[in-house]
Structure 1
């Protein structure tokens, strides 16, 4: 007898409206038909799930919500005029077997959904650091429509607030481009001066040695990079390192290097944060592995300024490479100075190798191999960056109360952003099952307490 099917839980959102928002015309004409071929930087992400962000905003009691929603649509159309490829779709280039492109034609647009959170949920119930069920937050980011769409947006009304959700296909652009688009949209919404327009020219990424062919044959499958299989039962929480705590990590690492007679690693604020979180994360795991077993941290590095010739900051597309390095599990998990030194040394080495390697096509060609090697051994990945300034995305009703990368619930990555207090800290979003989250909270707090001794 077949087992009885469990009833699906009721949806937490009511969809009020779905609109296709096209780029605004200039001089009465829509942006021209165009095809942006994927580069080797882009094709790496072809099969991966979209990056999903949610921005929570508090609204005044007398806020005119219909006017806000109308303005969001109008300003979205204006922002898409400069970023019109994001209104297009990803497709196999006609007449080819393995060439892909982002294709836009007049009439294309971005799906903009307006929804309402059921059960009278207050924005401050969700825009908090404490663990929350991911199923309460994930629906605030829209799914990408079928047919190759690369961007979808959603505004969800809730009590005393609004959530703006975004889903973007990583093969179309990296985080620097997608967040620059958000800043452009926000500026159009308020009438402020926005960032410089994007540079839409894929010929800026040179590929004289045929790296595209290497990458398109070896690109990871969704299964290889989708690290979490049962994300629905996970929690999402945020952990913040203050500027002072980050400096303390740097001091501890330098002191431990001196004690060991080793050269101290280049310990930037990002290295210190990654190292601190990676050591805590490993300490929460009970894998039964021996100390000789390696585990990897894998994170993106922006190469725009390092390309020859350099690629403009405003380049629309992907220009990030992979940085990764291993550390022995038992040494990484050690409490105190030992674990921090091992972690930060490995993170700094990953950055040094990535920066040196971008000038070597042979090294770049090994990215896929290194990702697979890390995946087999065990890895933790990173999404986001403090440089994206997500807490400055103001649509006219204030800075975000909270920003989440909800897709980390699927990928298992840590989500990184600048601290929203504006005092130089860095915040990290973590998604784990309930037991793992409790363990991580204890490890994190113990490590923070140790820093303050």
Structure 2
């Protein structure tokens, strides 16, 4: 269960905790117990960072008991796990080889490494407030709806799921999923959600069209020097393996409380933003939807933070580089295959009237550089990011193509989909919105900046 401060009331209460081991009789089987999935440098980069924690909120369906919802989600997860077998394993470190791998469990009766932990709680949280777009939340509320798979030391579970019943008011259901980032990037995780939802809706997993089965073999992203680079990342990020707990910065305890809020840009608003940026930057073609929203988020956070000096303000984001590897990695590769992109402009540049145009040029250049050579500067990713002065980075995550509201587990489309793992002052997470062409942007920022940010971000 999520960690809770000592004075926080128990708003989420666990009813039961079990494990989902394998497909039902007749379904596909998981690979042999003990099988290793060696990890790549792209995976090792995430070893000590918090897991990805996603929440789907569904309104209760009349006449459908909560037990039926749980049964459907459990059985369909069991069907999908053989296809996404690394998700059923444990992240492990081998001192002999000094390498990370995911190990499938030897036993399926439960325990820390015995399949995927499946938690069933109830809560008296206000469902309607959680799905209300205008509502402002602190960082702990959504986190209670996702299982906590963080560990201070390896081995650590790759995945856990939590299905929570809202017992007050009109009811509702939350599906919370935690996945360790070493197992997959955003593209791989969303493919998992799509397949799980399809299985829950009655689609047989073994009928996945040929050529679209998720691939987990890390040899598909191998390159010269990759093993040494993976060891370099481990020395930089988790020098005391198997301990992975990051060193605590005393300043973090005193940081201002973060607040989060969700905004939706309708399709016409997205198009107007892209056209304005293209005109301002004097480019012939409109920027991509991601570039437009990334630029808008970067500029808005910088201005809301009052950055108007000559010190740099950084924008950091990830670019899918499957198509740009040599040889290219298949589209169906589900492991991590993303390049770290960074752009910077001074606070005064971002605050100026041509700030959005300058930011667009910088973002486009960072993306173009990643496409030209996704491995360029790979060994310096960690040190470059660590060198950013505190408070001067804007983290841009997700993608407007991630189908957050297109996953239907048989209960209708979600009322709200959110990323619970947002813990940075100045973070924007993008997913496709509910309506065609719209984009949802969830924002985490120091509470005192939220109103100023909203005024800039949503200004037409």
1:295 is aligned to: 313
Structure 1 residues 387-426: aligned runs within 5 Å:
387-409=401-423, 412-422=426-436, 424-426=437-439
Per the TM alignment, residue 229 of structure 1 is displaced from its structure 2 partner at its CA by: 5.2
Query: C-alpha distance in 1, partners of 2:102/2:294?
Result: 33
Structure 2 unmatched ranges of 5 or more: 109-113, 239-244
Question: Secondary structure, in 3 states, of the residue corresponding to 1:386?
Answer: coil
Asked if structure 1 preserves the Cα contact closer than 8 Å seen for 2:24 and 2:75, the reply is: no
Question: Secondary structure, in 3 states, of the residue corresponding to 1:387?
Answer: coil
Residue 425 to residue 365, structure 1, CA distance change in 2 (3 Å): same
Residue 394 (structure 2) pairs with residue 380 (structure 1): yes
Residue 206 (structure 2) pairs with residue 206 (structure 1): no
2:292 is aligned to: 272
Structure 1 residues 44-443: aligned runs within 5 Å:
44-93=45-94, 95-96=96-97, 98-106=98-106, 107=108, 108-118=114-124, 121-130=125-134, 131-144=136-149, 146=151, 147-158=155-166, 159-192=170-203, 196-210=212-226, 211-219=229-237, 222=246, 233-258=257-282, 267-286=287-306, 290=309, 292-334=310-352, 338-358=354-374, 361-374=375-388, 378-409=392-423, 412-422=426-436, 424-443=437-456
Query: C-alpha distance in 2, partners of 1:174/1:250?
Result: 27
Asked if structure 1 preserves the Cα contact closer than 8 Å seen for 2:90 and 2:102, the reply is: yes
Residue 274 to residue 407, structure 1, CA distance change in 2 (3 Å): same
Question: Secondary structure, in 3 states, of the residue corresponding to 2:366?
Answer: helix
Per the TM alignment, residue 7 of structure 1 is displaced from its structure 2 partner at its CA by: 5.7
Query: C-alpha distance in 1, partners of 2:217/2:48?
Result: 23
TM-score normalised to structure 2 length: 0.86
1:13 is aligned to: 12
Query: C-alpha distance in 2, partners of 1:10/1:170?
Result: 30
1:451 is aligned to: none
Query: C-alpha distance in 2, partners of 1:192/1:296?
Result: 44
Per the TM alignment, residue 42 of structure 1 is displaced from its structure 2 partner at its CA by: 0.6
Higher mean C-alpha displacement, 138-147 vs 52-61: 138-147
2:242 is aligned to: none
Asked if structure 2 preserves the Cα contact closer than 8 Å seen for 1:265 and 1:344, the reply is: no
Cα deviation code 1:386-439 (max 9, x no counterpart): 2221211111010111111111135752111011122x1211101233321122
Query: C-alpha distance in 2, partners of 1:48/1:375?
Result: 19
Query: C-alpha distance in 2, partners of 1:379/1:170?
Result: 21
Question: Secondary structure, in 3 states, of the residue corresponding to 1:105?
Answer: coil
Residue 233 to residue 371, structure 1, CA distance change in 2 (3 Å): closer
Asked if structure 2 preserves the Cα contact closer than 8 Å seen for 1:297 and 1:379, the reply is: yes
Per the TM alignment, residue 164 of structure 1 is displaced from its structure 2 partner at its CA by: 0.5
**Alignment length (residue pairs):** 428
Residue 426 to residue 251, structure 1, CA distance change in 2 (3 Å): same
Per the TM alignment, residue 188 of structure 1 is displaced from its structure 2 partner at its CA by: 1.1
Query: C-alpha distance in 2, partners of 1:405/1:117?
Result: 19
Query: C-alpha distance in 2, partners of 1:88/1:232?
Result: 37
Per the TM alignment, residue 136 of structure 1 is displaced from its structure 2 partner at its CA by: 2.4
Which structure has greater helix proportion? 1
Query: C-alpha distance in 2, partners of 1:177/1:30?
Result: 18
